[in-house]
Amino acid sequence: MTGDLVHLGKTQGDFTCVSYQSPLAKKRGETSGWLPSAALTPVGPMQSPKASDWIGTWDHPDGSITIRPATSGKLRIRGEMLVQGRHDVYPGEIKAEVRPDKESIAFVAGGSIPFETPDEGNGECRVRMQRIGVWLMVEDNVQCGDHGVTFTGFYHCKK
């Protein structure tokens, strides 16, 4: 639909692979497919978001992320995700106290390791967040919970 945000994948010829998940959906579900590249308009992150642009409780199917002020210009981030599997529910969790950079919040292991540190393959949770329009876009390395739980997606702020 016009105006929907999608994650972009590879481009082949005149088409781009995209994945879409409605941030307002009540259940998690992702659709992937090919769209004409000409039908896509790039959307960049919010330029220099203020601390208040991050603050709030951000919802997504199966979970939420709460961002609150902390000390010394840092933000306190807490997120929980519960994904229903075939027979079990799998939890995910993120916790960090970090200072946002110019356009994003990024952290490893709760903020104790700089995000730019190369991934040593030790299974530590790596998260990057950006504000895109009214949305919070989150990407992780699928190491923030059990059995492939991911926080990746678009979140809307609760009012």
What whole-number percentage of the chain has pLDDT above 70? 91
Tell whether 1 is covered by a domain.
no
**pLDDT tens-digit readout, 133-144:** 888 999 998 899
Please say if the pLDDT value at position 99 is more than 80.
yes
**pLDDT tens-digit readout, 29-68:** 667 889 899 988 877 788 889 999 999 999 988 899 999 9
pLDDT at 21: 67
Residue 97 forms beta bridges with which residues?
76
If one counts the domains in the chain, the total is: 2
Shared-domain flag, residues 125 and 88 = yes
- Are the C-beta atoms of 139 and 127 separated by less than 8 Å? yes
d(CA 110, CA 100): 13
- Are the C-beta atoms of 106 and 115 separated by less than 8 Å? yes
Q: Is the dihedral of CA 103, 105, 111, 116 positive or negative?
A: negative
Question: Residue 133 sits in which domain range?
Answer: 51-157
CA distances (Å), origin 138, targets 7, 50, 72, 153: 11, 17, 24, 5
Shared-domain flag, residues 67 and 126 = yes
Shared-domain flag, residues 14 and 70 = no
What whole-number percentage of the chain has pLDDT above 90? 39
pLDDT at 24: 63
Tell whether 94 is covered by a domain.
yes
Shared-domain flag, residues 34 and 60 = no
Structure tokens at 132: 């895109």
Shared-domain flag, residues 64 and 101 = yes
Model pTM score: 0.79
Tell whether 129 is covered by a domain.
yes
Shared-domain flag, residues 136 and 68 = yes
Range with top average pLDDT, 52-56, 121-125, 144-148: 52-56
Shared-domain flag, residues 86 and 151 = yes
